[in-house]
Copies of this chain bind each other. A is one copy, B any other.
Amino acid sequence: MPDGLGLPTFLLAFASALLGAKLLGELSERLGQPAVLGELLAGVLLGPSVLGLVPLTGGVLLLAEIGVILLLFEVGLETDLGELARVGGPALAVALAGMALPFLGGFFLTRALGHPALTAIFVGAALTATSIGITARVLAELKALATREGQIILGAAVADDVLGLVVLAVVSRIAGPGEVDTALVLSATGLAVGFLVVALALGIPLGRWLVGIVGRANVRGILGAASVAFALLVALAAKKAGSAEIVGAFATGLVLARTNRRHDITQAVKPVVDVFAPLFFVAVGAQVDVALVNPFVAGNRPSLLLALGLTLVGFLGKFAAGFCAWGKVRRAFIGAGMVPRGEVGLIFASLGKATGMLPEGVFVAVVLAVFATTFLAPPLMKLLHLGAADGVSLP
């Protein structure tokens, strides 16, 4: 097929993104950090501001978009709404406080520095969502998934993920007309929550029906292909309903998680995510211009200071939220488990950049703050968990 698509450039970008992401991901894991951190750093290195191997062309951005849609689909598949009900009240309290505190902190800090309200909303929103992927992986590494703290963290992260996507839907709705207005916020909230409710209400029987049909088919790969097609269509519907594509993909995951083929679908989707999701993280990293991070350039200092402030606010807000849990639990460990931001924060950042709501300096500050919280959490969780295991008394 034609080379007019820039196929050679694309092949090189795709291959180097995959290799760079996995190489730095592995290095990152060996240093006790989540792999996603390495993937982001690989993007910074491969992107236009350093090596230039991954240019931000249409093809790269399109595949990155497919990557993040499939990733959120998989996160949805691995999310169990039932979990939340089981861990009950404390998880919801932690989730709500963990969204409100960093949002308010980020919002007021950004406003205090003289940025417009819309920018401040994006910054606050980018700090709301805990990365369920990172948190779950750290909990699994610590063998703390089945503890009461682990259950609360997971439950809160699940609630957070759903609520964070609602916030994302609201924020992307607001980003369109470009002004804040209570009626609009309410209608956007209604649309986003309404879309999720309708998608889940219609989706659960529809998903079961679809899985039933597919179960009677024999052709190779039909379960994976049909599930992905379903996710893409719901993503498109979400977009048409004024929400975000990834909200639709996530909802599809939640819906298909409630069918009896959940395991098979996850098995079919995982390898596809493995190949395409790194492209998203690399593409996000590639959007960071390293020239803006140099602290010796006076012009960079405002965004570096903002990054420091956002990291502090983002960290303290989530950490404090852990103390909203009740019962006989280690609240500091729960707070630490809520700290990593990861993918959803970056989705906010790149959406904010794409819609022009986040100026370059603020975008960099948000990405750096996401990096920093993601970086801080795993060692902190490990420390607090080991401390407890050694019998040290913790709050």
Contact = CB atoms under 8 A, between A and B. Distances in A.
Interface string A357-375: 0000000000000000000
Contacts of A233: 11-12, 15
A65 interface: yes
B7 A226 contact: no
A111 interface: no
B58 A59 contact: yes
Nearest to A35: B219
Residue from A18, A218, A230, A351 with most neighbouring chain B CB atoms (10 Å) = A18
Contacts of A25: 219, 222
A115 interface: no
A284 to B, nearest CB: 10
Contact of A1 (B19, B61, B229): B61
Contacts of A225: 18-19, 21-22, 274-275, 278
Nearest to A222: B22
A377 interface: no
Interface in A324-360: 350-351, 354
B5 A65 contact: yes
A274 to B, nearest CB: 3
Given A59-B59, A220-B35, A232 B274 contact: no
A271 B350 contact: no
Contacts of A11: 232-233, 235-236, 239, 245
A46 B303 CA distance: 49
A82 interface: no
**Interface size class, chain A:** 35 or more
Nearest to A9: B236
A267 B272 CA distance: 11
Contacts of A219: 22, 25-26, 29, 35, 38
A268 interface: yes
B1 A354 contact: yes
A386 interface: no
A340 to B, nearest CB: 16
Contacts of A108: none
A222 B272 contact: no
Interface in A47-64: 58-59, 61-64
A26 B218 contact: yes
A197 interface: no
Contacts of A1: 61, 64-65, 350-351, 354
A59 B5 CA distance: 8
A114 interface: no
Given A18-B228, A18-B229, 16 more contacts: A2-B354, A5-B65, A7-B245, A14-B66, A15-B230, A15-B232, A15-B233, A18-B232, A26-B217, A35-B220, A59-B62, A63-B63, A63-B66, A220-B274, A221-B274, A221-B275
8 smallest CB-CB distances across A and B, nearest first, come from A221-B274, A18-B229, A15-B232, A271-B271, A15-B229, A26-B219, A26-B217, A25-B219
Interface of A: 1-2, 4-5, 7-8, 10-12, 14-16, 18-19, 21-22, 25-26, 29, 35, 38, 58-59, 61-66, 217-222, 224-226, 228-230, 232-233, 235-236, 239-240, 245, 267-275, 278, 350-351, 354
